[in-house]
Amino acid sequence: MNALKSIALLILLAAAFDVHAADVTVEIKKFLFEPKEITIAPGDKVVFVNRDETPHQIKADNGSFVSKALDTDDRHEQVFATVGDFSYVCTLHPFMTGIVHVKK
Ligand SMILES: [Cu+2]
């Protein structure tokens, strides 16, 4: 197989498997977001998982996203398409804060 065919095959495989940006997990444990601060690239997905016995609800300070009230082991998936700093809070426990930095 020549080099050009190899490259074409790689591109086809990437498309077939929907190669996409990384998923990053933020766990909610003991009334804390862990990690509290993350840096990702545009298009990355953040998965928030509630590991507490208490419900939590995540809301961006700028209103760009809000989760449902997450019960134990519930997840909220959020894709960050645009560059910026997105601070968020738990609406049920406003002392719980975190931030997602989206950088190219
Ligand atoms: Cu909370």
Task: Give first-to-last CA distance, the chain, whole Å.
Answer: 35
Task: Say how many Å lie between the CA of residue 11 and the centre of ligand 1.
Answer: 43
Domain span including residue 90? 21-102
28, 54 Cβ separation under 8 angstroms: no
Residue 83's pLDDT is what?
97
Residue 102's pLDDT is what?
97
35, 26 Cβ separation under 8 angstroms: yes
Within 10 angstroms of residue 4's Cβ, the number of other Cβ atoms is 8
Asked if residue 98 belongs to a domain, the reply is yes
Task: Say how many Å lie between the CA of residue 6 and the centre of ligand 1.
Answer: 50
Asked if residue 26 belongs to a domain, the reply is yes
Number of domains into which the chain is organized: 1
Task: Say how many Å lie between the CA of residue 25 and the centre of ligand 1.
Answer: 17
Residue 22's pLDDT is what?
74
Asked if residue 56 belongs to a domain, the reply is yes
Asked if residue 9 belongs to a domain, the reply is no
Task: Say how many Å lie between the CA of residue 97 and the centre of ligand 1.
Answer: 9
Asked if residue 93 belongs to a domain, the reply is yes
Asked if residue 10 belongs to a domain, the reply is no
CATH of the domain at 64: 2.60.40.420
- Series of mean pLDDT values for 10-residue runs along the chain (104 residues): 62 55 92 98 97 98 98 98 98 98 96
Residue 10's pLDDT is what?
54
